[in-house]
Structure 1
Amino acid sequence: MIFEPNIENKVLALMAKYKKQTDYLEIRLEEKENEGINLNKDGIQKIGSSSRLGGCVRSCYKGGFGFASFCSLEQAESKIQEAISISKLIGVSKTNLAPVPVINDWVKIQPLLNPKDVSLTEKVNLLKSYQEVFEQVKSDRILDYSIRFVQDFHNKLFVNSEGSHIKQEFLAMDFVLGATAFYNGIQTPMQKVFNSTMDFKFCRNKENEIKEICDDAHLFSDAKDMKGCETTVIMDSALSGVFAHEAFGHTSEADLFASSPGGRETLKIGRKFGSEKLNIYDCGDTWNHSGSLKYDDEGVATRNSPLIEKGVLVGRLHSRSTAYDFDEDVTGSARSISYEFPPIVRMRNTCIGKGEDKFEDLVADVKSGIYAVSLRGGFGGENFSFSPLKGYIIRDGKICEPVKNFNITGNLFETLGNIDGITGEEDFETLAASGENGGCGKMEQYPLGVGMTAPRIRISKILVGGN
């Protein structure tokens, strides 16, 4: 709808009418269509769809930003006037935005199998077939399980006073399988999350994964709790990706440490944080990840943004404002969760670069430690704490018995320096965190679709909390 010529022409006419009344003006329109199916052991719990349409205006005058959103196109002109008025009330200095090219583009999705071409009946039947698999493979301890599919189509129209005119189409699909074991009055949940932006076929042929989930839930239902200690930890690729995102990625967002005491000095370009093995980057220009996009919500082209190279800080993530403030290149990292919010500096797909170590060698060198797998929850920043979904004791270079109920806690800068092993490209796994299965939160904007890609990493010394 928002790409219809009459709507685009109206937006362009409003831009032409008001752009000279302020230093900078942008208009965004967005529309979303969502469809979801939930099943559990009792059958279908929910089948639903929703749609929403709205827009927003952002004005900058003498350095002051005014923002207004609307859920009806008839409100667009009055909200433009409101945003301009707010910016003129706030602005007292000079509008400083990093220069960027004027862009005219239409980014279309090209799925291999579009979920719109798969009937609702076929989707429901697929999920019901997985319900039968759960019933066949679950043990007597598995008393509950869940199957969930969500598809989200998202269109965006961006126009600004500099002449950019961008249309972008997005597709996100999430498929979540989970099982919960009950043993001695204690619940032990396990799940796997799958994601695609390209092909509905990604959620087919998951019978083996269902068996693995049920087996893990049964195995860990009577696993011992981990005892707290300082030890060596090997993180699987999913947990390593979360570490890169939560612990380091947020710290790399320029608007956060730009306003923090001593932030610029602590995160000074050229400072060494780890060994030459360590490379971390954030990118939006890779496809089929939850954080993939060609242009951000300021109309800036995304790119691969190196953050750490060979252990040394080389970059950070920027909006146009922070890029000007730091006198650094824009990165295409200004994003918002919806038209109801202005863009702020956010990650896209945060990645740890490949190493050269073999997983077997990393384990063989550990006399006493833990292999931590996947994520249950936690928080990031300079001082972080993660709760892995599951773990295994490493003893004398071998992976041994399972353990659960523990967290990994540390200081970001100390931990980066303690990373002494990184596996190769064959060990990569991408963890998708979209708006439907978690996503990333910052300030009041949650959840935002992001991706996290990493190999396994070994941390020579870190605090593991348990019972």
Structure 2
Amino acid sequence: MLETLRKALRLVGKEEYVEVRLEKIVSTRLTLQNGCIEALKEEEIMGGYVRVFRSGFGWYFETFSGWENILEKIRSALHSASLKNPTAFHSGVVRGEAFEDEHLAQLEEDFRCVPFEEKVKIARCYAELMPEVSSFLVNSSVDYRDEFREIYLANSDGTLLHLEKPDISMVFTAVCRKGDVIELYRNGVARRAGLEAVKGLEALAKEVVARAASLLEARPLPGGVYDVVLDPTLAGVFIHEAFGHLSEADFLYHNERLKKEMTLGRRVASPLLSVFDDGSVDGLRGSSPYDDEGIPTRKTYLIREGILTGRLHSRETAFSMQEELTGNARTVGFMYAPLVRMTNTAIESGKTSKEELFGDIKRGVYAVEYLGGNTALELFTFSPAYGFLIENGKITDIVKNFVLSGNLFETLQKIDCIANDFVWNELGGCGKGLQMGLPTPTGSPHVRLRETLVGGSE
């Protein structure tokens, strides 16, 4: 296949930037609802795209299905691109080095070789355990998904890549009811691994039900101003949603007001805070040796000791803003052109123990995990999944139904302590435009915010 792509690139004019992607996706999806199979799907999809940039003409993008007659499909797309009318919008792309490389997956237990019946058996085992945990359980689901992507990428810089990307997840959902009170809780695992990643999760399946049942007894938190400790999951999602998206240069470089807010070298946070994006971390779901434009991934500091130090780029945005490439052009598949996206985004670990974060809080809230939220430029609202009161340095009663909201930059200045217990959270995915579910792990230790506005029941 690489030789076929090599021949295709000989058709390209020197003034053009051309990208060709071929992709094969083999996947399984299975949902058990209250122990019964509700949905199942095994699928194999093959296709690709041709993407062309011509100065003064902009982008041309064409996707196709199947791998038959690849050269003819590429030749046809190049011809169609040559017919594109000039555009008033003038930009360009940063040209890069040529790489010829191959990165193949090494799986302990390759899920492509496991019969579908065995996957059902594993999921059913968890489904049968969940009702044993609580009599308040009224609905449970087990969602299994595996996916293996084989990708060939070539561009007119001379890059030829062959990459394999496995992905697997198991997610448990429990709904508990007591009288008129209904609570839902969801958790699971997602990994760049084989079937071994979703085995031995009995304790997690039971924990999901137990947590949903415990929320039935949780009391709504009165609103007010609290000292707040964010757990690593919520802190990671917060920095991804509220700040990471502002760092994606395609979102930024057409917005003059936001450009001023995000001027490099400006202090935007407490000196304790450093935030980075790193697509080169070994083994994480958001990692790859190269992005989807064939640029090597790397670690990019977005904030360093409170100072805005970087942002995320594709070839086009790096050209427009005259900044370095960062390896952050990503797509969910051959049906879509790459966008500027985060990879693995995180708050860097601090030097304080977790216990010290709680020690001197007289009245506060420990906010745990993530239920939902929204952002509007620098304004944000986040709903933790649940929380606990902090009273005189001790974690006490479980609470629910509260939100954290405010101005991003004011809130980042309120960080006064960061723990040393950094962890990655790989579950879930990110949406942007029409491209949903892109793996974007988040990482963080526990983080403390002073005097933060919390919306609650009063």
TM over 0.5: yes
Instruction: Pick one of 329, 342, 346 that aligns with 1:334.
Output: 329
Q: Deviations over 1:137-180 (max 9, x none)?
A: x2111111111211011122111112111111101111101211
Change (3 A) 1:84 1:174: farther
Q: CA distance change for structure 1 residues 398 and 276 in 2, over 3 Å: closer, same or farther? A: same
**Residue 127 of structure 1 is aligned with which of 120, 123, 144?**
123
Match of 1:39 in 2: 32
Q: For residue 96 of structure 1, what is the amino acid of its counterpart?
A: G
Are residues 115 and 295 of structure 1, via their aligned partners in 2, closer, same or farther at CA, if it must alter by over 3 Å?
A: same
1:107-118 mapped onto 2 (5 Å cutoff) = 107-118=103-114
Which residue number in structure 2 is paired with residue 181 of structure 1? 176
Q: CA deviation at 1:91?
A: 6.7
Q: Residue by residue, what CA displacement relative to the aligned partner does 1:288-334 show, whole Å, maximum 9, x if unpaired?
A: 32211111111100011111111111111111122222222111001
Does residue 55 (structure 1) correspond to residue 45 (structure 2)? The answer is no
SS in 2 for 1:269: coil
Question: Cα deviation per residue 1:190-244 (whole Å; 9 max; x = unaligned)?
Answer: 1212011124222222222223222211111131122222222111100111011
Amino acid at match of 1:89: P
1:451 paired with 2:446, answer: no
Aligned length: 451
Shift of 1:351: 0.8
TM-score w.r.t. length of structure 1: 0.92
**Aligned AA for 2:275?**
I
2:35 and 2:127 in contact (8 A); partners too: no
Alignment of structure 1 residues 140-289 onto 2, 5 Å = 140-289=135-284
Which residue does the alignment assign to 1:370?
Answer: 365
Q: Which residue of structure 1 aligns with residue 285 of structure 2?
A: 290
Partner residue in 2 for 1:432: 426
Counting only pairs closer than 5 Å after superposition, residues 373-452 of structure 1 correspond to structure 2 as 373-380=368-375, 381-424=377-420, 427-433=421-427, 437=428, 439-452=429-442
How far does the alpha carbon of each residue in 1:260-311 deviate from its partner, in whole angstroms, 9 at most, with x for none?
A: 1222221111111222221100011112322111111111000111111111
For structure 2, the 5+ residue unaligned runs are: none
Of residues 121-130 and 249-258 in structure 1, the stretch that sits farther from structure 2 once superposed is 121-130
Contact 2:188 2:204 in 1 (8 A): no
CA contact (8 A) 1:188 1:220 kept: yes
Supply the distance in 1 between the matched residues of 2:279 and 2:359 (Cα, whole angstroms): 36
TM-score (norm 2): 0.94
Q: Retained in 2: the 8 A contact 1:35–1:50?
A: yes
Would the alpha carbon gap of residues 175 and 453 (structure 1) be closer, same or farther in structure 2, given more than 3 Å must change? same
The Cα shift of 1:113 comes to 2.3
**Which position in structure 2 is the counterpart of 1:90?**
87
- Residue 370 of structure 2 aligns to a residue whose secondary structure is strand
Question: Is the counterpart of residue 78 in structure 1 residue 76 in structure 2?
Answer: yes
3-state SS of 1:20 partner: coil
Deviations 1:354-398 (A, max 9, x none): 001122111121111111111111123411111111111112211
Structure 2: how far apart are the matches of 1:274 and 1:127? 44
Structure 1 position 118, deviation (Å): 3.1
Q: Percent identity?
A: 32
Are 1:187 and 1:221, in contact at CA under 8 Å, matched by a contact in 2? yes
**Greater shift in the superposed pair: 376-385 or 310-319:** 376-385
Residue in 2 that maps onto 1:324: 319
Between the aligned partners of 1:333 and 1:226, the Cα distance in structure 2 is 39
2:94 counterpart of 1:101: no
**Native 8 Å contact 2:166 2:194 kept in 1:** no
Secondary structure in structure 1 of the residue aligned to 2:289: coil
- Cα distance change on mapping 1:337 and 1:349 into 2, 3 Å: same
Deviation of 1:21 after TM superposition, in Å, equals 7.1
Point out the more displaced range, 111-120 or 212-221: 111-120
CA distance in 2, matches of 1:100, 1:11: 18
Deviations 1:111-144 (A, max 9, x none): 22222243323222222222232132x2111111
Q: 1:285 to 1:131 in 2, by over 3 A?
A: same
Deviation at 1:103, TM superposition (A): 0.6
Structure 1 contact 65–90 (Cα < 8 Å) conserved = no
The residue identity in structure 1 corresponding to 2:307 is: V
